[in-house]
Structure 1
Amino acid sequence: MTSDPTLDEALARLLPHWLPTQRWFAAKGRAIASVSVVAAVPLPVADGPRVDHVLVAVAFADGGPAQHYQLHVARDTAPAGEFDHVTIGPVGDRIAYDGLWDPRVTAWLLGAVRTGTEVGDLRFIPEPGAEIPEPGPGRVLGVEQSNTSVVWGDCSILKTFRLVQPGVNPDLELHRALRSVGSTQVAALQGAVEGTLHDEPVTLGMLQDYAANSADGWAMALASVRDLFAEADLHADEVGGDFAGEAARLGETIAIVHAQLRTALGEGSRDAAELVANWTARLDTAVAEIPDLAPYTEAIRAVYAEVAGSVATQRVHGDLHLGQTLRTPQGWLVLDFEGEPAAPLAERVRPDSALRDVAGMLRSFDYAAFHSFAGDPEPDQQRLWHAGEWAQRNRAAFCDGYALRAGRDPREDGALLRAFELNKAVYEVVYETRNRPSWVSIPLDSIARLVAVTRS
């Protein structure tokens, strides 16, 4: 509870209905048992609405662990119509809405980071030497799923973590580490917002340079695939939109980031048997839920069994795919070092093989190539052949680029790389079955290809 019982009671009543309608809410499909305010800190926004920074606990009817979410709850007597789509509901004699959409609130947030403001348990921390612009109104980007980002012109972007867990978020931790070694392969960190959750430190937001003149890696790959499909008589290397050069440069970038993370945070090793046990446990759970995996189970286990000995480990991205990359005029940038958002924090910060990231990107090339066939019971065979050609060409180009910078080709560790790919594909089968059933053929077909390579 907080010092404002009106706010506590209203949010407990309103949020069970409002939260599931938000794109960033991570528990869609789970029945909410209750929502309670864990902490609320009033923010001194001058000449604006009343604003509270709020952390809420969401309990579920299935009895699973509670989740914690971050909100900036603004309250005004007559909010502007532009806030209708983020209106939470009445709180006393005012209307509450998501304050991140209010330019008066975002101007205050930028100024707070710039000046190193502290309010209650909230700490707005500028990075030493960072150039943070003068406060001004920001605008919310509408493309994210799990977080909310606000941008100021072409200068800064504040990522606000919606689902929060006690501890330092790996996205902030790894960006600080990469900044310490002068990395230019990530957007420079300008500052952070930190607080307290159940008496433990918690990361609430990150302010970074904004790469305004950039292109999303996933969108670029899809455009390349479309170009190939439009030129039915040409091969992938003959089409003007050939992506292989960019895939190779992206491979170089990932290898550089891996080297920088080793320099900043060191490296170690893990017993392969531990990895195999984790992969096997995921496979057993997946097969019990999804019978379509059963025909491949023994072949997958055979790939896992080839992995033995000691595996070199380091801090890695943990959830790498084309959508986590941006192409700028200067080169590729890597984004979002949170790891798999649904995984516990202890798992997301644990060192792993760099091949986990390589495998994640290889899976992403398969998705880019084959996603347009999702749900099509009779796909065009010529287009299907071209999709396979595109995937193979770009997977190879990425590995070539990675090898150029890393000094070792990831394909030389074939069994370990295939095992990481298969483990990721098994995860994807579960995810797609639960969320996008028409897409499940993409990882299932990839599993069939990967085990066929092993058998041959």
Structure 2
Amino acid sequence: MTALADLLREWMPGQRWFGSKGREWAGISEEGFFLDRGEPVLSVHRVTVSYADGGSETYLVPLSWRDHAVEDLSAAFVGSVTNDGRESFAYDAMRDRDATTPWLIHLVNASTVGPMHFHPAGVAYIPEGLPGDIVSTEQSNTSLVYGQEAIFKLFRRLEPGLNPDVEIHDALRRTENEHIAPLLGHIEIDDPDPAEPPATVAMLQTFVPNASDGWRLATASVRDLYAEGDLHADEVGGDFAADSERLGAATASVHNDMAKVLPTEPADRDWYATVARQMGERLDAAIEIVPQLAEHADGIRRIYAAVAGSTEPVVRQRVHGDLHLGQVLRTATGWIVLDFEGEPARPLAARRELDSPLRDVAGMLRSFDYAARHMLVEQPDDPQRAYRAQEWAERNRAAYCTGYSNASGIDPCGGSPLLRAFEADKAVYECVYEARNRPHWLMIPLNSLSRLTGQD
């Protein structure tokens, strides 16, 4: 193992974007190249981690190098290595502003540097020369904001093939859909195996300034409702229903345009059976992790069985794949939908499969439930708050469905067995997530499953 690989082995498990925390490592290897030899030097490393369970993952790690320690960058410090008697200090290059300018310079110039290829979209101004400021809230990726013009997203985990976020934004560019932020360019890196396609490293989009994310706005509305003890959801100044309706219309608009420029096909009986089987398998695996799910299992399986025998007409198409209130921004003129890469933990091929738009609708309906009920965690036995949470969730779920229906001509919430199954499947996923990360929030998806299965 090289000295750098040794440093990365210590440093990577503590990073938010590292997806296999707690998994036992069997080994690590890295290969890198210099992207820029200015001050600081910028190198890019492909780091492959192998695990004791036989799996492996490859991550992209850009590093900036300095010949002395920089106190202001202490939070980004990776470690130091000695070469020819000289000590070099490595930092997380995404947190070192002086190391963020080369990305856009190379993109403007459509450069090829080593195995990395830069592809500008050629449609708008790229703010070459500006430094980037890190977005601190991200989980699986790392993003930089360049002034008020552009946002750069680095995909940390590498898989061969075009990332759906780039693919879908590029396709939607032809529709001029007003609910997306235009793609300005993307970056790829060749796979070590020449038989495999390049992996998407990063993308650049137009930045949306002065925007508020949907989760913050929705939860502020819920807090307003809780503060007014004698008012209903439609009487509170912070009522969110009009925004929810517009969000439903925006979702339908994006779905409609995705169906115009990307493949579609009618669902057949085999697809329904496969969806139901996969949901059942995920439920079985989840019960092993969250034993409390067992009391809901029979009811959930009945919901899935209704899908297996469904004759509901569905046209499968590309979808968002991970839609929730944290993936949308409200601007002065409407809603913007972000992050079309799908659930990052799923394989790339699975995220590119055709699916029902109802999966996205179900994700947003689950998000309304979360927004309404996350404050109940603090007071789980308060029946008044529970009633008000239910009222807020129902009002905003209905408004979202109305907006979607008016924009598409399709009522997504009209008693569809598939929608109900997608909601249950998402709640099962949430149970596993909460059990592993926020056990005190587990009550939220469990209570939702009680309602979905008719136990509440």
1:149 Cα offset (Å): 0.7
Per the alignment, in what secondary structure is the counterpart of residue 412 of structure 1? coil
Give the match for residue 433 of structure 1: 435
Give the match for residue 351 of structure 1: 354
- Where do residues 115-264 of structure 1 align in structure 2 (5 Å cutoff)? 115-199=109-193, 200=196, 201-264=198-261
Between the aligned partners of 2:142 and 2:281, the Cα distance in structure 1 is 33
Give the match for residue 333 of structure 2: 330
1:114 Cα offset (Å): 1.3
Q: Which moved more, 1:196-205 or 1:307-316?
A: 307-316
Q: Which moved more, 1:155-164 or 1:355-364?
A: 155-164
- Where do residues 263-282 of structure 1 align in structure 2 (5 Å cutoff)? 263-270=260-267, 271-282=271-282
Per the alignment, in what secondary structure is the counterpart of residue 204 of structure 1? strand
8 A contact 1:253–1:332 mirrored in 2: yes
Per the alignment, in what secondary structure is the counterpart of residue 10 of structure 2? helix
Gaps of 5+ in 2: none
8 A contact 2:224–2:238 mirrored in 1: yes
8 A contact 2:376–2:385 mirrored in 1: no
Per the alignment, in what secondary structure is the counterpart of residue 193 of structure 1? strand
Q: 1:50 aligns with which of 32, 36, 41?
A: 41
Between the aligned partners of 1:79 and 1:103, the Cα distance in structure 2 is 15
Between the aligned partners of 2:407 and 2:97, the Cα distance in structure 1 is 44
Between the aligned partners of 2:71 and 2:178, the Cα distance in structure 1 is 41
Give the match for residue 445 of structure 1: 447
Do the aligned partners of residues 88 and 363 (structure 1) sit closer, same or farther apart at CA in structure 2, a change above 3 Å counting? same
Give the match for residue 421 of structure 1: 423
Between the aligned partners of 1:396 and 1:51, the Cα distance in structure 2 is 50
Give the match for residue 63 of structure 2: 73
Give the match for residue 296 of structure 1: 296
8 A contact 2:296–2:450 mirrored in 1: yes
Between the aligned partners of 1:64 and 1:395, the Cα distance in structure 2 is 43
8 A contact 2:130–2:147 mirrored in 1: no
Per the alignment, in what secondary structure is the counterpart of residue 148 of structure 1? strand
1:375 Cα offset (Å): 5.9
Give the match for residue 3 of structure 1: none
Between the aligned partners of 1:285 and 1:138, the Cα distance in structure 2 is 41
Between the aligned partners of 1:198 and 1:121, the Cα distance in structure 2 is 9
Between the aligned partners of 2:123 and 2:382, the Cα distance in structure 1 is 56
1:361 maps to 2:364: yes
Report the AA paired with residue 355 of structure 1. L
8 A contact 2:35–2:42 mirrored in 1: yes
Q: 1:82 aligns with which of 66, 69, 72?
A: 72
Per-residue CA shift, 1:203-236, capped at 9, x if unaligned?
A: 0000000111100110001100000000111000
Q: Which moved more, 1:341-350 or 1:25-34?
A: 25-34
Report the AA paired with residue 362 of structure 2. A
8 A contact 1:45–1:104 mirrored in 2: no
1:45 Cα offset (Å): 3.9
Per-residue CA shift, 1:306-336, capped at 9, x if unaligned?
A: 2213632100000000000000112100111
Per the alignment, in what secondary structure is the counterpart of residue 359 of structure 1? helix
Report the AA paired with residue 277 of structure 2. A
Give the match for residue 40 of structure 1: 32
Do the aligned partners of residues 64 and 218 (structure 1) sit closer, same or farther apart at CA in structure 2, a change above 3 Å counting? farther
Gaps of 5+ in 1: 1-7
Report the AA paired with residue 81 of structure 1. E
TM-score by length of 2: 0.94
Do the aligned partners of residues 45 and 100 (structure 1) sit closer, same or farther apart at CA in structure 2, a change above 3 Å counting? farther
Give the match for residue 305 of structure 2: 305
1:14 maps to 2:16: no
Per the alignment, in what secondary structure is the counterpart of residue 117 of structure 2? strand
Report the AA paired with residue 70 of structure 2. A
Per the alignment, in what secondary structure is the counterpart of residue 306 of structure 1? helix
Per-residue CA shift, 1:244-281, capped at 9, x if unaligned?
A: 00000000000000001000103113321111111111
Per the alignment, in what secondary structure is the counterpart of residue 410 of structure 1? coil
Between the aligned partners of 1:118 and 1:298, the Cα distance in structure 2 is 55
8 A contact 1:45–1:105 mirrored in 2: no
Per the alignment, in what secondary structure is the counterpart of residue 17 of structure 2? coil
Per the alignment, in what secondary structure is the counterpart of residue 372 of structure 1? helix
Between the aligned partners of 2:423 and 2:359, the Cα distance in structure 1 is 8
Between the aligned partners of 2:278 and 2:62, the Cα distance in structure 1 is 38
8 A contact 1:225–1:390 mirrored in 2: yes
Q: 2:24 aligns with which of 31, 48, 66?
A: 31
Q: Which moved more, 1:217-226 or 1:11-20?
A: 11-20
Identical-pair percentage: 47
1:430 Cα offset (Å): 1.3
Between the aligned partners of 1:413 and 1:55, the Cα distance in structure 2 is 48
Report the AA paired with residue 188 of structure 2. E
8 A contact 2:41–2:99 mirrored in 1: no
Per-residue CA shift, 1:16-61, capped at 9, x if unaligned?
A: 1111111111111223232210x31211243x12221111001223
Between the aligned partners of 2:234 and 2:436, the Cα distance in structure 1 is 36
Between the aligned partners of 2:288 and 2:99, the Cα distance in structure 1 is 48
Between the aligned partners of 2:178 and 2:332, the Cα distance in structure 1 is 13
Between the aligned partners of 1:421 and 1:383, the Cα distance in structure 2 is 23
**Root mean square deviation, CA, Å:** 1.5
8 A contact 1:287–1:293 mirrored in 2: yes
Between the aligned partners of 2:378 and 2:395, the Cα distance in structure 1 is 25
Report the AA paired with residue 30 of structure 1. R
Between the aligned partners of 2:180 and 2:70, the Cα distance in structure 1 is 37
Between the aligned partners of 2:183 and 2:404, the Cα distance in structure 1 is 25
